[in-house]
Structure 1
């Protein structure tokens, strides 16, 4: 899945000379958490979060004169430089950026011009779609030897049963790196026949671990 498929194209932006009070109003009015700061060419030069604006805003217990802080330019509190991504980047790679840099949003740029934005909420929604948990389905976890060709062999079993696969994930089997786990989500609420097929082919099913059944 590409970034352009999930990004929000209607981006609220500010110029570096706009005041902090304007940012506060925009965040509240649009119920957003981040605002990219752009120059006259619509190039991203900074970004502010709701926390940045909140920290820069005076408390109700502060001296009234402190409210002057809200008139300061937004560039005085913006974060720079800003990590950006390209619309043709893969969403899975962008997820790594979120994790490694511990950020909650990234602007999307093409030829240095802002064209969209992705937030952690967008990433979470996409992860739900990629894993197939947004549709009625059942999850089966199969332990297999970590060698080439295992995935097509396993999916052949599902093909014979003619069940619709929502998603496939693969991750290491931590107790023994000679094995891996294939997680298949299928669109049926009764996975028992498929599980029986898998076991008949000699595969070890780790989940679901149904009572009275051996893996």
Structure 2
């Protein structure tokens, strides 16, 4: 099976300088678990909902919230995004994605074209649905 048959081609992107509040809003209002970080339409990073949870103060929105807590959500995306990317091209096969997930501790694989622009994303959930 070709990876393009499996991938989600509806990707959500953010820029490196977007505040984490933009990321939080995207996760809160969609069913995405990963956002692709782009610079001039080229993939430069990935941020997951787990990355966001680790970066945010647990006191946000509570009576114990202080200014320092609010500042955690104002951080730019590039401070917490994953920069070491494992990607596949549109010619990849299902077995290629399975091999990547077995070898790497990642939860998604961005699918990029020949110039590094994201065209889709495959998560381990997509693999499990297929199997």
| TM norm. shorter chain > 0.5 | yes
User: What is the CA RMSD across the aligned residues, in angstroms?
Assistant: 1.2
Shift of the alpha carbon at 1:55?
Answer: 1.0
Match of 2:6 in 1: 6
Shift of the alpha carbon at 1:110?
Answer: 0.7
Question: Aligned pair count?
Answer: 126
Any gaps of 5 or more consecutive residues in structure 1?
Answer: 128-215
1:103 counterpart SS class: coil
1:116 counterpart SS class: strand
Deviation readout 1:151-185 (Å, 9 max, x if unpaired): xxxxxxxxxxxxxxxxxxxxxxxxxxxxxxxxxxx
Deviation readout 1:82-115 (Å, 9 max, x if unpaired): 1110111111121010111021111100111111
1:114 to 97, 105, 118: 118
Q: Are positions 1:39 and 2:43 aligned together?
A: no
Structure 1 Cα separation of the partners of residues 5 and 91 of structure 2: 9
Shift of the alpha carbon at 1:68?
Answer: 1.2
Given that 1:44 and 1:82 are in contact with CA atoms closer than 8 Å, whether structure 2 keeps it comes out as no
Query: Bigger relative contact order, structure 1 or 2, given CA contacts below 8 A and separation 6+?
Result: 2
2:129 to 125, 146, 161: 125
1:16-165 aligned within 5 A:
16-40=16-40, 42-60=41-59, 63-65=65-67, 66-111=69-114, 112-127=116-131
Structure 2 Cα separation of the partners of residues 93 and 72 of structure 1: 35
Given that 1:34 and 1:49 are in contact with CA atoms closer than 8 Å, whether structure 2 keeps it comes out as yes
2:127 counterpart SS class: helix
Runs of 4+ with >4 A deviation: none
1:30 counterpart SS class: coil
1:51 counterpart SS class: helix
Structure 2 Cα separation of the partners of residues 9 and 122 of structure 1: 12
Any gaps of 5 or more consecutive residues in structure 2?
Answer: none
Structure 1 Cα separation of the partners of residues 12 and 79 of structure 2: 19
Shift of the alpha carbon at 1:63?
Answer: 4.0
TM-score normalised to the size of structure 1?
Answer: 0.56
Match of 1:162 in 2: none
